[in-house]
Amino acid sequence: MDTGRKAQVVVIPYPAQGHINPTLAFAKSLASKGLLVAFVTTTSISKSANFSDCASLTLHTVSNGSEHVEGTETTEADFNRLRCKFSTNLADYIDGHMRGARAIIYDSVMPWMLDIAKNCMIYEMCFHA
């Protein structure tokens, strides 16, 4: 990624119906303005969603641990797993692959993203889908 000439923005939607498409549209709008945008979602969502190509937008996947879940789980258990597993894996991913990131834009349903942004020393912005 060319972070020398363009700002790199990481956009993270809440991985649920009704959150991905508005966040993706916002990410594409940012990319159309010349920003290099990394759209990060869970591995499980990336398998079922349809992401069209955009030159300045790249799709990145991070595990939320759902591949290890057997059977069904409550919404609360899913949310807690997302908060713990996805957050840990995301912080590691950003640290290893997106050191040039200037901003994290995240869904307001995930306020703990603020901590990740601070730990990675990245400016944060909350997005209400």
Q: Where are the domains of the chain?
A: 8-127
Verify whether residue 2 is a known catalytic residue: no
Task: Tell me the pLDDT tens digit for each residue of 17-62.
Answer: 889 889 989 999 999 988 899 999 888 777 766 666 677 888 888 9
Cα–Cα distances (Å) from 68 to 15, 44, 79, 108, 116, in that order, read: 17, 11, 15, 26, 24
Verify whether residue 19 is a known catalytic residue: yes
CATH (one of 3.40.50.2000, 3.10.105.10, 3.40.50.620, 3.40.50.880) for 8-127: 3.40.50.2000
Task: Tell me the pLDDT tens digit for each residue of 99-124.
Answer: 788 899 999 999 999 998 888 888 77
Annotated active-site residue in 19, 60, 68, 115: 19
Give me the DSSP letters along 2-53: -TTTS-EEEEE--SSTTTHHHHHHHHHHHHHTT-EEEEEEEHHHHHHS----
* Alpha-carbon span 9 to 100, nearest angstrom: 9
Reported pTM: 0.82
Annotated active-site residue in 92, 107, 115, 128: 107
* Alpha-carbon span 10 to 66, nearest angstrom: 22
